[in-house]
Amino acid sequence: MKKQSVYRPIALATFCSALLLGLVVPACAQAPKVRPAFNAGGFYPADAKVLTKMVDDFLARAAVEPLSEPPVALVSPHAGYEYSGQVAAHSYALLKGRKFARVVVIAPCHVENFPFSSVYDGDAYATPLGNIPVDKEFAKKLVGLSRDIKLSERGHVQVEGRGEHALEVELPFLQRVLGGFKLVPIVMGNQNYDLERALGVALAKLSQDGDTLIVASSDLSHFHPYDEAVQLDHKVLRAIEEWDYFNMSRNFESRTWEACGGGPIVAAMIAAERLGAQQAKILKYANSGDVTGDKSRVVGYGAAALIKEKAGRGGKTQAFSLGQKEKNELLKIARKSVETSVRERTLYYPALEGFASLEQERGAFVTLKEHGQLRGCIGYIAPIKPLYMTVRDVAAHAALRDSRFTPVTVDELGKLEYEISVLSPLHRVADIKQIRVGQDGLVLWKGEYEGVFLPQVPTEQRWNLMTYLEQLCYKAGLPKDAWRDEDADLFSFTAIVFGDRHISDTITPEEPRSPAQRKTPGLPEPGSPTPPAPQF
């Protein structure tokens, strides 16, 4: 099918002009490039009066607590208004009475794939409520900051008769609450941490004036039964509250969690963090089943705000903790898993009852020692499974799959000492003075290179802070000062550490964040982002 032109010709006499977007277009000048409202009449009403009334009604019914400061970024769904409009209104209701010079809207692409973030190369986006001018100066500066960001019409124009809706449907809400503003429309053609980070960092560099709002457009899980969808969606919402964007990105990429705009959410969080946001507020959750009554296959919707109000990263979420009974149960599972895998070469299937905290998804490592010497240590950093299943898996891996050691034998089973480290979420380290040696574990990320140390490692090795950082770089396969690089991220985390010899009950109210399977104290090579299923 011939691609529809997005250029609107203007008939010109020898010396006539046309008024468009408030600009005079002289004769012989190229007509402004306006992206049409492809989805008006589908995802939302095409009639301006009907659309205005619908949006205003949604906003009037959205009960949200006002903020003392304007939000740095919002997360809003992008389904048809009859399904997700009321949820979206909870984000936009926070903007009443506020003004921004520009709004950056970041959306996923449902119509085509391309390996960059596409900033619209035209002059305006159209909606039934009028044209919104593109901030072309901002856009030009943005693409100059990263080769992963390009001026392009990819993701913005129609492909085989379909125009991307995820960005477009956010605009009428913005027009109703803000009035006039300039738009920076961005469609992500691919979603991975490299692209998300590039976009987030670039946006932060250009938005220091405080006059820019960032909007991440995303729905949550798709087409699961109602109860399953609610469970899946709240994993993502909890990660947003915990400011766990690194783990989120990895779990989206491995499809452990679901959000079609996961990339925009992560990019917005990275930018917002560097702009001073310290808290995420979940404003509303619902799914299509709440609207239609059909709960067999639903789509999830969430509204959130990233704000500067100080509650610490992780907001007001309750710190994760374990009692002595839970710790004993995890140690029992670890031992049974190792014994079953070594003796029978099969997986152990624990029967868990009455331990709700062990059902939560958390990263964890199991360390095996024999006569005080390391015998194996493997873990998952990301919260990819319920905690008790993570401990089951990594205990068996530590016994049989730590490539630094030969597999544990039956004769050794009675000699093993067990230590379990349950990880908090990861948080980016903005200043190394924040690192508490002996309390904070570290993850270093730089593209395809990654290294991790548990909190207890520098104490056991008697390292000071600089040695700790240098050894982390070496472990990632990088030069000793790679943690200083602008394109590297350093994350810290805490852990609940307990075992046969000692138990530590402390975990600071920080939260998790990171990829998936990794090994520990001196692990040879980082594993893959998605842990392999155990094969015995």
Residues 287 and 362 in one domain: no
Is residue 244 a contact partner of residue 318, using CB atoms and an 8 Å limit?
no
Tell me: pLDDT of 105 over 90. Answer: yes
pLDDT for residue 524: 28
For 315-354, how does the pLDDT look when each residue is reduced to its tens digit (9 = 90+)?
A: 555 678 999 999 999 999 999 999 999 999 999 999 988 8
For 184-240, how does the pLDDT look when each residue is reduced to its tens digit (9 = 90+)?
A: 999 999 999 999 999 999 999 999 999 999 999 999 999 999 999 999 999 999 999
Is residue 212 a contact partner of residue 101, using CB atoms and an 8 Å limit?
yes
Q: Residue 441: which domain range? A: 318-536
Task: Give the residues across from 376 on adjacent strands.
Answer: 368
Residues 224 and 350 in one domain: no
CATH number of the domain at 413, please.
3.30.700.20
Contact residues for 133 (Cβ-Cβ < 8 A; gap 6+): 21, 22, 123, 124, 182, 183
Residues 326 and 415 in one domain: yes
Which whole number is the average pLDDT over 514-526?
A: 32
Tell me: pLDDT of 509 over 70. Answer: no
Give the residue carrying structure tokens 């956010």.
Answer: 170
Residues 163 and 271 in one domain: yes
Helix (H, G, I), strand (E, B) or coil at 491: strand
Q: How many CB atoms lie within 10 A of CB 345?
A: 10
For 80-94, how does the pLDDT look when each residue is reduced to its tens digit (9 = 90+)?
A: 999 999 999 999 999
Which whole number is the average pLDDT over 445-449?
A: 96
For residue 8, being part of any structural domain is answered with no
Tell me: pLDDT of 507 over 60. Answer: no
Residues 247 and 206 in one domain: yes
Residues 396 and 433 in one domain: yes
Structural domain ending residue among the three candidates 307, 339, 363: 307
Residues 149 and 246 in one domain: yes
Question: Which alpha helices (H) appear in 345-475, and where do they start and end?
Answer: 387-400, 456-461, 465-475
Residues 346 and 398 in one domain: yes
Residues 394 and 298 in one domain: no
pLDDT for residue 71: 98
For 1-47, how does the pLDDT look when each residue is reduced to its tens digit (9 = 90+)?
A: 333 333 233 333 332 333 334 444 455 568 999 999 999 999 999 99
Which whole number is the average pLDDT over 42-66?
A: 97
For residue 15, being part of any structural domain is answered with no
Structural domain ending residue among the three candidates 276, 307, 338: 307
For residue 197, being part of any structural domain is answered with yes
Tell me: pLDDT of 360 over 80. Answer: yes
More confident: 506 or 296 = 296
CATH number of the domain at 75, please.
3.40.830.10
pLDDT for residue 312: 57
Residues 507 and 418 in one domain: yes
For 151-179, how does the pLDDT look when each residue is reduced to its tens digit (9 = 90+)?
A: 999 999 999 999 999 999 999 999 999 99
Which whole number is the average pLDDT over 110-127?
A: 97
What confidence tier does 370 reach under pLDDT thresholds 50, 70, 90?
Answer: very high
pLDDT for residue 315: 52
Residues 504 and 384 in one domain: yes
pLDDT for residue 309: 75
Specify the pTM. 0.87
- Tally of domains within the chain: 2
Average pLDDT across the chain, whole number: 89
Which whole number is the average pLDDT over 249-267?
A: 97
Give the residue carrying structure tokens 């899946």.
Answer: 232
